[in-house]
Amino acid sequence: MIGFLLQLTLGIALPWALVRWDMTRLAPARRARAWPDSSLLAAAVAFGPLCLPFHFVKTRGWLWGLLLGALALLGCALGAALPGMLLEALEP
């Protein structure tokens, strides 16, 4: 049960933190196309790592954004799943 809660928490926190970090590095023109702060958390909660391709496509353009978004999705999905799976494997 703790592993599931950890996966759920990390599935929201990691994409949110990655998008927030990425937004600090964006040029003003690209940042204007990014999510406003009021909807960023809602997107992370509702879609989890699936919000990452949308963020990168909106801010980087179609092809480069899709590639970055897919890599970020894979990294966040693995980062959220592996600790939870490890904890569940260690539970008696």
Mapping DSSP to helix (H, G, I), strand (E, B) and coil, where does residue 92 land? Answer: coil
Give how far Cα 28 sits from Cα of 32, 33, 39, 86, Å. 6, 9, 18, 41
CA–CA dist 41, 48 (Å, integer): 10
Confidence of residue 11 (pLDDT cuts 50, 70, 90): very high
Q: Give percent of the chain above pLDDT 70.
A: 100
What confidence score (pLDDT) does residue 38 get? Answer: 84
Q: Give percent of the chain above pLDDT 90.
A: 76
Per-residue model confidence as pLDDT tens digits over 17-41: 999 999 999 999 999 999 898 899 9
Mean per-residue pLDDT over the chain, rounded: 92
CA–CA dist 47, 24 (Å, integer): 21
Could you tell me which residues come within 8 angstroms of residue 54 by beta carbon, excluding any fewer than 6 positions away? 43, 47, 69
Q: What is the pTM of this model?
A: 0.89
| Terminal-to-terminal C-alpha distance of the chain | 12
